Structure 1
Amino acid sequence: MNLKQSYHAGAVAQLDLFRDRLPAKPYHTDDLSAGLQVRSAERAALARYIQPNGPTHRFWLVYDIDRPGAAIDWSDRGAPPPSITAKNPENGHAHLIYGLKTSVRTAPDAKSAPLRYAAAVDCALQRVLGADLGYSGLICKNPLHPHWQVTTWEPRLYTLADLDSWLDLEPAQDRRKRLLDYGLGRNCNLFEQLRLWAYKAIRQGWPDFGQWQAAVEQRALMYNAGFAAPLDLQEVTHVARSVAKWTHQHLDASSFSAWQAAQGAKKGKTLREQGKVLLAAGATVEAVMQTLGVSRKTVFNWKRLV
């Protein structure tokens, strides 16, 4: 196989993978002003615009670049080569698509530390590319559709560490600081806002689960409406239901009192010190994992020191 044949094979492989990774029933449309439809992936793949990721996993990081030369000036900006670019032939604007070797789990039961790391990478890449902050990420120019000028660049899929090596993640190192309300950063911020509210709000009468879930979903929708580019309703519902279920199961009146008392002792302490305080106050291993965003193994190590 010569170089030209090898490049062509890589291009076909990337587009085939894009097709294979589509959600079972993605949003899609040929005209954004006409609204979105939901049909089978096979049917949706024929549309100009399509949903590349489902609500629980992120296989592709997509960036909306609204300037001429968007499909090629990533190199001038020091950004990693995209997997795929889909350019509008009329104005040169483009969507840059980066394929991940391992998907990022965005469901609320995902571990918080890996999700925050992925969000930091996502936000840093947005800054380097100068991508549109108002892009919701729900749908993108479909690289399988002939209307767009499609080019494949990097044939290999990226790990987050690969992308990290091109970027400056220092602004996102402090976990106490809120991430940018963009891309995966919104998932992290919604979850953090909602869980912190829920930890306090559930003590107002200790409602039954149905009433509590409705209240959490309403609060999640309110937080989401505050984003410049809100998350899809399905993603918001996933987050709300998970937070409602966990808090209702783990924060009864007695355990909440112990948790609340521990919060006053957290200021100025390291994660390990905070964990020991929570455990000493009677918090469960799962509660400490959720509160501090650490692994089960780490909490068990702390527990031996209490």
Structure 2
Amino acid sequence: MECLKQVNPDEWENIPPLAELYQDLPTTLRCSPHKNNTDFRRKSPKQIAQNAYIGYNTPKVTTFIVIDLDYDGSIFAYHDTGIPRPQFVLKNPKNGHCQYLYRLKDPVTFFKSSRNTPIRLLNAVTDALNDVLGGDKAFTGYLAKNALNSAHEVYYTGAEPYTLGEIASYLDLPDLNSSQAEQAHNDEFYGRNDAIFNTVRKIAISIAYTGTYTQIYAQCLEWCEEYNTRYSPQLPYNELKSISKSIAGYYTSDKFRREFSELQAVRGARGGKVSKRKPAPTSEASTEPWKAMGISRATYYNRKKQGKI
């Protein structure tokens, strides 16, 4: 506990650990002054000052493990549980809830050529940290407390960046090669795969009829990457490509195009039908009494409704 030191985030440029943290942030910053909206801005001191929440990782690179502790007194949870201390502890001054930032010495990538072993280890370490610390497993890390913003109390522990293996040595991890671990991984994996697929599929209908396979695939992949950032851990890049190919393939298939054309034809027929019934010569639609009264049609029917005509 003696390693925990509060620092002033307003002076981050003059505090080496915070200045290094700034350098580690993505060039394009996912940020927001509140929790309920997200902007994408070029990283700058101005954006840091304006936004209390930021995204520490990109869709393709995880540099920080962010643990969300929704209970008072969580500032010393790492000490009480005997696990490695995070680099930073970010505390809500109103309720005492905290977030921990663990900086990885070797960031984990989600590129098409990335190895699956580090990704699986990252998943296991993150889950185990949440188990030990009582963290919120629903927290995706999409937006987290900004350690360089004075909306939060910021504490620095002096810890150096960790390898995943160093953190794992303090945790009780499952055998990543066991069938039980593989089944648990698959349950989580397929849930997120299905969620991203269905979300992007519904959005992509807007370009389904006019876009080519290449255009739909590229746009779907972009949407998949965007929605993937809401999860921690994220789906591998190859899975996002597979989802995008599946959606693009379906929306450019002859079956879909034929059924879509038939649906549009039915809708057009409904909207284009002209009533065969003509207005009666003595009806108000024919005589237009509002003209003789020098008022508008809307005023005429409004007065009639009120019993003034």
TM-score interval for Structure 1 and Structure 2 normalised by the shorter chain: 0.5 to 0.7
Retained in 2: the 8 A contact 1:85–1:151? Answer: yes
Select the residue among 183, 188, 205 that pairs with 1:177.
183
Q: Are 2:50 and 1:44 equivalent residues in the alignment?
A: no
Q: Does 1:112 align with 2:116?
A: yes
Corresponding residue for 1:54?
58
**Deviation of the 1:14 alpha carbon:** 2.7
SS at match of 2:151: coil
Q: Which amino acid aligns with 1:44?
A: Q
Q: CA deviation at 1:154?
A: 3.8
Distance, in Å, in 2 between the alignment partners of 1:44 and 1:177 is: 42
Q: Secondary structure at the match of 2:121?
A: helix
Which residue number corresponds to residue 231 of structure 1?
A: 231
Distance of aligned partners of 1:170 and 1:36 in 2 relative to their CA distance in 1, 3 Å threshold: same
SS of the aligned residue for 2:90 comes to strand
Q: 1:20 aligned to 14, 20, 23, which one?
A: 23
Residue 77 (structure 1) aligns with = 81
Which residue matches 1:92?
96
Can you list the C-alpha shifts for 1:259-295, whole angstroms capped at 9, x where unaligned? xxxxxxxxxxxxxxxxxxxxxxxxxxxxxxxxxxxxx
Output one character per residue of 1:167-188: Cα deviation in whole Å (capped at 9) or x when no partner.
011264425323287xxx7599
Kindly report which structure 2 residues correspond to 1:199-214, keeping only aligned pairs within 5 A, or say none. Answer: 210=214, 213=217
Taking the aligned partners of 1:77 and 1:104, their CA distance within structure 2 comes to: 25
- Contact 1:65–1:132 (CA under 8 A) maintained in structure 2: yes
Higher relative contact order (CA 8 A, sep 6+): 2
TM-superposed CA distance for 1:12, in Å, is 3.3
Q: Secondary structure at the match of 2:106?
A: strand
After TM superposition, the structure 1 = structure 2 runs for residues 277-292 of structure 1, keeping only pairs within 5 Å, are none
Map Cα deviations across residues 67-97 of structure 1 (whole Å, 9 max, x no partner).
Answer: 0011112211222111101100110001100
Name which of structure 1's ranges 163-172 and 93-102 shifts more when overlaid on structure 2.
163-172
Give distance in 1, aligned partners of 2:138 and 2:40: 23
Q: Distance in 1 between matches of 2:86 and 2:74?
A: 11
SS at 1:179's partner residue? Answer: helix
The answer on whether the counterparts of 1:44 and 1:50 sit within 8 Å (CA) in structure 2 is: no
Matching of residues 124-143 of structure 1 within 5 Å: 124-143=128-147
Identity in percent: 24
Could you tell me how far apart the structure 2 residues matched to 1:98 and 1:238 are? Answer: 23
CA contact (8 A) 1:27 1:139 kept: yes
Aligned partner of 2:170 among 166, 174, 182: 166
Query: Does residue 1:242 correspond to 2:244, yes or no?
Result: no
SS in structure 2 of the partner of residue 114 of structure 1: helix
Q: Is the 8 A contact 2:141 2:230 kept in 1?
A: no
Say which is worse superposed, 41-50 or 84-93, in terms of deviation.
41-50
Structure 1 unaligned runs (5+)? 195-207, 248-306
CA contact (8 A) 2:127 2:137 kept: no
1:116–1:188 CA contact under 8 A, matched in 2: no
Structure 2: gaps spanning 5 or more residues = 198-211, 247-309
Which residue pairs with 2:154 in the alignment?
A: 150
Cα-to-partner distance string for 1:5-35 (whole Å, 9 max, x where unaligned): x9989x93332222111111111111223x1
Alignment-mate amino acid for residue 38 of structure 1 = F
Provide the secondary structure at the position in 2 that maps to 1:76. Answer: helix
Determine the C-alpha separation between the residues in 2 that align with 1:100 and 1:237. Answer: 18
The amino acid that maps onto 1:231 is Y
Deviations 1:235-272 (A, max 9, x none): 7795555336999xxxxxxxxxxxxxxxxxxxxxxxxx
Over aligned residues, Cα RMSD in angstroms?
A: 4.2
CA distance in 1 between counterparts of 2:128 and 2:236 reads 27
Amino acid at match of 1:39: R
Go from structure 1 to structure 2 and tell me whether the alpha carbon gap of 1:180 and 1:158 turns closer, same or farther (over 3 Å shift): farther
Task: Provide TM-score, normalisation by structure 2.
Answer: 0.59
CA contact (8 A) 1:180 1:186 kept: yes
Post-superposition shift, 1:210? Answer: 3.8
**CA 1:237/1:179 → structure 2, altered by over 3 Å: closer, same or farther?**
closer
1:29 partnered with 2:32: yes
Work out whether residues 119 and 188 of structure 1, in 8 Å CA contact, stay in contact via their aligned partners in 2: no
Quote the Cα distance in structure 2 between the aligned partners of 1:188 and 1:121: 19
